[in-house]
Amino acid sequence: MTIATHAYLNHSQRNPVDVAIIGASGRIGRRVLELIEKRAAVAAELGVELRIVAAANSRACLIARGGLAAGEIANRLASGVHLPRQGFDEALLHLSPRLVIVDCTASADIAAQYPQWLGAGFDIVTPNKLGLSADAPLAAAIATARSRTGVQLRASTTVGAQLPLLNTLSELRLAGDRVERFEAVLSGTLSYVLGRIQQGESLSAAVRLAIDCGYAEPNPACDLSGEDAARKLVILLRTLGFNVDLADVERTPLIDAQLLAGNDGSLLQKLAAVDELWRARVAIAEARHERWIYRATFERAGADGFRARVAPERVAADHPLARLAPCENALILHSACYSAAPLTIAGPGAGIDLTAAGVYADLVGAARQRVPIGNVRVAVAAA
């Protein structure tokens, strides 16, 4: 006999979960808002009703205790009179004891507020890597606030968009497995750029395409410098329980730091200077039946030590990480449990749709934990 459970919202006892969305006018933020609107009926089947009570971007903020229409938020943020930012931060703290904050920015200032929000009992859902990969003081403050209040910080999309990477590593840790080493492609942007230049595109054109496709970070220099991949490696390793900071990851950038200096909007023009260099590198690799990947590597060293690095590297053309399609991510992991053959997780690892879908799933998951038990009726069907 199999038992299917089906939970749905008991509308006679409506008790919506309040949501504040920061970065609501960005690429991911807007798509998350669309999903909140379009998938309301599906969420209701899971026992969840989401009510957006606050929204902000870097220039404006909105608050409405009774709820904001998701489809109107971006336009309302773009026009009209808004609450000053300081007032918004203060108002959030008193808005609702059941608040879930969705951080869809790439802002360090917003990540720095996580301890205060978590300490106030709010859940946080985010694709922003700057909280989970923060340096020790902020990381410790986040961990302390979480353990004190027991609230949720769901950030499964910070690595691999919607791929089941963090959850899987978390389960390996819960199971007491010992991870010995892994190699991975963690940057969807660099996977796309290197994939395209090995299909004949110039480097500068490939970066332009990655930006147009929505794979690149708000500041693409973070991808090209390897910082994005290094932060993802930190998040993976912290998920496995390692005490690691960004500075512990050896990092070789894809593009020389001098070329990336200055946020003056001329990055793509500057990149043209290395188009020929990368054409030559690709030609040499092809002659040797090799391919360029931007590889993240972890291996234990000594009794308690480890080595973690990210770098552009040439691998044999038949290496599993060399066979990824542009934009795909992959992780190949060896552990005590996966000693006979490695655990491999691979698939598209960036993009607005996949990331927003993952953020939305994290939001519904967080909200579901907040729905009072009496509000969810569970139908049990025997088959």
Applying CB under 6 A, does 109 fall inside the site for ligand NAP?
A: yes
Q: Which stretch binds ligand NAP (CB under 6 A): 46-54, 215-223, 241-249, 291-299?
A: 215-223
- Residue 274: C-alpha distances to residues 109, 195, 204, 205, 270 (Å): 33, 16, 8, 11, 8
Q: Which of 7, 10, 15, 27 binds ligand NAP (CB under 6 A)?
A: 27
Residue type, 293: I
- Shortest distance, CB of residue 153 to ligand NAP, whole angstroms? 14
How many Å apart are CA 73 and CA 56, to the nearest integer?
9
Q: Which of residues 48-107 bind ligand NAP (CB under 6 A)?
A: 56-59, 104-107
Q: Which of 9, 18, 21, 29 binds ligand NAP (CB under 6 A)?
A: 29
Applying CB under 6 A, does 142 fall inside the site for ligand NAP?
A: no
Per the listing, tokens 């512990």 go with 248
Per the listing, tokens 């010995």 go with 180
Please name the residues in contact with 339: beta carbons below 8 A apart, sequence gap of 6 or more.
Answer: none
Closer by beta carbon to ligand NAP, 145 or else 210: 210
Closer by beta carbon to ligand NAP, 225 or else 335: 225
CB distance 151 to 122 below 8 Å: yes
- Shortest distance, CB of residue 179 to ligand NAP, whole angstroms? 23
Applying CB under 6 A, does 226 fall inside the site for ligand NAP?
A: no
Closer by beta carbon to ligand NAP, 193 or else 371: 193
Question: Residue 14: exposed, middle, or buried by beta-carbon count in 10 A (0-12, 13-18, 19+)?
Answer: exposed
Q: Which stretch binds ligand NAP (CB under 6 A): 39-47, 210-218, 315-323, 363-371?
A: 210-218
Closer by beta carbon to ligand NAP, 130 or else 293: 130
Applying CB under 6 A, does 347 fall inside the site for ligand NAP?
A: no
How many Å apart are CA 221 and CA 166, to the nearest integer?
25
The bridge status of strand 17-22 relative to strand 3-9 is: unpaired
Closer by beta carbon to ligand NAP, 282 or else 366: 366
How many residues of this chain bind ligand NAP (CB under 6 A)? 31
How many Å apart are CA 212 and CA 62, to the nearest integer?
29
Closer by beta carbon to ligand NAP, 17 or else 159: 159
Backbone conformation region of residue 195, classed left if phi is above 0, alpha if psi is from -120 to 50, else beta? alpha
Q: Which of residues 272-331 bind ligand NAP (CB under 6 A)?
A: none
204-210, long-range: CB within 8 Å, 24+ apart, which pairs?
204/268, 204/269, 204/271, 204/272, 204/274, 204/275, 207/267, 207/268, 207/271, 208/268
Applying CB under 6 A, does 149 fall inside the site for ligand NAP?
A: no
Determine which helix (DSSP H) or strand (DSSP E) holds 299, and give its type and residue range. Answer: strand 290-301
The torsion of the CA quartet 331, 218, 154, 192, rounded to 10 degrees, works out to -20
Q: Which of 352, 361, 365, 376 binds ligand NAP (CB under 6 A)?
A: 352
How many Å apart are CA 325 and CA 77, to the nearest integer?
37
Q: Which of 16, 25, 152, 366 binds ligand NAP (CB under 6 A)?
A: 25
Per the listing, tokens 């910070």 go with 158
Applying CB under 6 A, does 23 fall inside the site for ligand NAP?
A: yes
Residue type, 326: P
Residue nearest ligand NAP, Cβ-based: 26
Applying CB under 6 A, does 235 fall inside the site for ligand NAP?
A: no
38 a catalytic residue: no
- Shortest distance, CB of residue 74 to ligand NAP, whole angstroms? 9
Q: Which of residues 182-201 bind ligand NAP (CB under 6 A)?
A: 188
Could you give the residue numbers annotated as active site? 232
Q: List contacts with ligand NAP (CB under 6 A).
A: 22-23, 25-29, 56-59, 104-107, 109-110, 127-129, 157, 161, 188, 214-215, 217-218, 350-352, 355
